[in-house]
Amino acid sequence: MESTEHSGRQQTATERRRRELLEAAERIVLRDGPDASMNAIAAEAGITKPILYRHFGDKGGLYRALAVRHTDALLANLATALDAPVLRRDRVEATLDAYLLAIEARPQVYRFLMHPSDEDNAPESGFDVGRHSAPLLRRLGEELAKVITDRLDLGPGGELTARVWGHGIVGMMHGAGDWWLRERPCSREQLVTQLADLLWGQLAAVEDRVGGPGF
Amino acid sequence: MESTEHSGRQQTATERRRRELLEAAERIVLRDGPDASMNAIAAEAGITKPILYRHFGDKGGLYRALAVRHTDALLANLATALDAPVLRRDRVEATLDAYLLAIEARPQVYRFLMHPSDEDNAPESGFDVGRHSAPLLRRLGEELAKVITDRLDLGPGGELTARVWGHGIVGMMHGAGDWWLRERPCSREQLVTQLADLLWGQLAAVEDRVGGPGF
DNA sequence: TTACTGTTGTTACTAGCGGTAACCCGCAGT
DNA sequence: ACTGCGGGTTACCGCTAGTAACAACAGTAA
């Protein structure tokens, strides 16, 4: 079969198409929020639904493709913040800040990413839709756990500790970030400082209240 | 109008009915997960859809009613754990344990509660569907912030700090709990200990790794 | 020229969802 | 007997995700 070059060209062509479709989808999600309909996305791309389904299988597939894109970008950002050769406290603050900056810049995308609507990912989907299809928060947690394992000396059983901390810290970022994004009770810098203080044991260090209004 | 007694009896009757409907809804949600349909719930209750809509307005209303129930129960549990007259570290561990025990006992309900599907709550819905309709995590965060403010002496600006920490800690519980519930990488006691260690500043206290495989 | 094959796209449909309008029945009060 | 009225039903609307079937055009072979 001498169609290798042919199929190669086809490959790049379909991949270009795929990217175009994803960009259209992103525009619509950015406009309509997490419940953007397939019809709307297809219309934005100038085509009709069945093509979307040929490319992505189902709505979850399209969602996963979009999520992988942004998750990869966000992870790259966080990785550079996490690798900076500065004090540990500064690294933590830089990482928190990078995350908050990202969700602040594109709240719609962020909300879309955080609502995976679960549904197990089929073990395979014919294509390599990407092995990274795990929801964003789990990927973040695992990556952070890896960094913690690499950087800190946690002694025996340290891997488990690192994973617990990784997912715990990511959950903290997510929870606090979600609340902050809605209520905007303070500046980003303040939030970062307070969260880093929390991680630095201030909850344990601060004094009990002595003469409360209670009695 | 002398129908006060009458309307009073009606009141209790409709409230009893409401409770029955909520119990049926709970059974279905427990069985079908977060995407239980109104038809299925109505069928389980032995009636048809419009009655559900007369009682709860829309699906969000029914969801909110269910959520308020469980949120109240969970909050009561956590409050007792949070009020125990023991060391602060023990209180924190007891609270984490209470939360994890709850989500371990009823994972389906837990997943249902955590997926609010957002959508602003209408400012009012005629009835007092309950002012507590804020999603579970936000309520938990605010309650925890209250306790922190009451118990700890955070100095000036302490209210903001307490709220940041409240939402951050709740997010940490949620994130770590979600991961733990899926992968079950360790016992509940271990998880509680590791998370408490994290909150107690171990992340800052532990040593840098000196001779890693990287170099 | 003719016929086969594959890709790209369409129209037109199904099944099921949340939600609602209109009607039905039994039971209070006058 | 007639009138309300609350609990209940049937039958529908508009919308969604997802699919089947067909149409048009490429390239390739006989």
* 8 Å CB contact between A201 and B201: yes
Q: What DSSP string describes B144-193?
A: HHHHHHHHB---TTHHHHHHHHHHHHHHHHHHHHHHHHHH--S-HHHHHH
| A163: confidence class by pLDDT, cuts 50, 70, 90 | very high
Using DSSP's 3-state secondary structure scheme, residue A207 falls into coil
Q: Is the CB of A6 under 7 A from strand D?
A: yes
Mean pLDDT on A88-98 = 95
Identity of the amino acid at A190: Q
> What is the distance between the alpha carbons of residues A185 and A191, in angstroms, rounded to a whole number?
9
> What is the distance between the alpha carbons of residues A74 and A110, in angstroms, rounded to a whole number?
10
| B7: confidence class by pLDDT, cuts 50, 70, 90 | very low
> What is the distance between the alpha carbons of residues B72 and B77, in angstroms, rounded to a whole number?
9
Q: What is the pLDDT of residue B171?
A: 96
**Residue B155 φ/ψ, nearest 5 degrees:** 70, -165
Q: What is the pLDDT of residue A46?
A: 92
Q: What is the pLDDT of residue A215?
A: 41
* 8 Å CB contact between A196 and A96: yes
Residue A5 has pLDDT above 80, yes or no: no
Q: What is the pLDDT of residue A205?
A: 77
Q: Which of A35, A22, A107, A94 is nearest to A65 (CA)?
A: A22
> What is the distance between the alpha carbons of residues A58 and A119, in angstroms, rounded to a whole number?
12
| A7: confidence class by pLDDT, cuts 50, 70, 90 | very low
> What is the distance between the alpha carbons of residues B175 and A157, in angstroms, rounded to a whole number?
21
Closest to A212 (Cβ–Cβ): which among B150, B165, B172?
Answer: B150
Q: Is the CB of A47 under 7 A from strand D?
A: no
Rg for chain A, CA atoms, rounded: 21
A residues 19-38 near B, CB within 8 Å?
A: 34
Mean pLDDT on A184-195 = 97
Q: What is the pLDDT of residue B95?
A: 96
Which of A118, A164, A183, A190 to mutate to probe the B interface, most B CBs <10 Å?
A164
* 8 Å CB contact between B34 and B22: no
Contact check, Cβ <8 Å, A207/B152: yes
Helices A107-114, A88-105: axis angle to 10 degrees equals 100
Q: What is the pLDDT of residue A133?
A: 54
Mean pLDDT on B89-100 = 96
Residue A130 has pLDDT above 70, yes or no: no
Q: What is the pLDDT of residues A60-83, one digit of tens each?
A: 899 889 888 888 889 899 999 998
| B204: confidence class by pLDDT, cuts 50, 70, 90 | confident
Mean pLDDT on A94-121 = 79
- For the four alpha carbons of B109, B112, B116 and B122, in that order, the dihedral sign comes to negative
> What is the distance between the alpha carbons of residues B194 and A145, in angstroms, rounded to a whole number?
13
Chain B residues touching A195 at Cβ < 8 A: 164, 168
Residue of B nearest to A162 (CA): B194
Nearest nucleotide, C1' to the C-alpha of A56? D18
Residue B115 has pLDDT above 60, yes or no: yes
B191's CB contacts (< 8 A; 6+ apart) are: A164, B96, B100, B176, B180
Tokens of A42: 């297809």
pLDDT above 90 coverage of chain B, percent: 49
Residue B187 has pLDDT above 60, yes or no: yes
* 8 Å CB contact between B41 and B62: yes
Residue A178 has pLDDT above 50, yes or no: yes
> What is the distance between the alpha carbons of residues B70 and B65, in angstroms, rounded to a whole number?
9
Contact check, Cβ <8 Å, B152/A202: no
Q: Is the CB of A58 under 7 A from strand D?
A: yes
